[in-house]
Amino acid sequence: MASMIRKSFDDPEETRPFKDATGQLELVNLDAGAVGRATFLPGWKWSQHVKPIVQTDSCMAAHVGYTVSGRLKVVMDDGEEIEYGPGDFGVIPPGHDAWVLGDEPYVFIDWQGMADYAKPKE
Q: Kindly report, residue by residue over 30-86, the tens digit of the pLDDT.
A: 988 899 999 999 999 999 999 999 999 999 999 999 999 999 999 999 999 999 999
Q: Amino acid identity, residue 33?
A: G
Confidence grade of residue 21 (pLDDT, cut at 50, 70, 90): very high
pLDDT, residue 23, reads 95
Does residue 3 lie within any of the structural domains? no
- State how far the Cα of 44 lies from the Cα of 23, in Å rounded to an integer: 8
Determine which helix (DSSP H) or strand (DSSP E) holds 63, and give its type and residue range: strand 63-69
pLDDT, residue 119, reads 86
Closest by CA position to 69, among listed 109, 98, 97: 109
Does residue 5 lie within any of the structural domains? no
- The domain that contains 103 carries what CATH number? 2.60.120.10
The CB density around residue 20, as the number of other CB atoms within 10 Å, is 12
Q: What is the CA radius of gyration of the chain?
A: 14
Does residue 9 lie within any of the structural domains? no
Confidence grade of residue 99 (pLDDT, cut at 50, 70, 90): very high
Beta pairing partners, 65:
90, 110
Which range marks the domain in which residue 106 is found? Answer: 14-110
Does residue 37 lie within any of the structural domains? yes
How many structural domains compose the chain?
1
Confidence grade of residue 11 (pLDDT, cut at 50, 70, 90): very high
Q: Is the pLDDT of residue 1 over 80?
A: no
Confidence grade of residue 120 (pLDDT, cut at 50, 70, 90): confident
- State how far the Cα of 88 lies from the Cα of 71, in Å rounded to an integer: 10
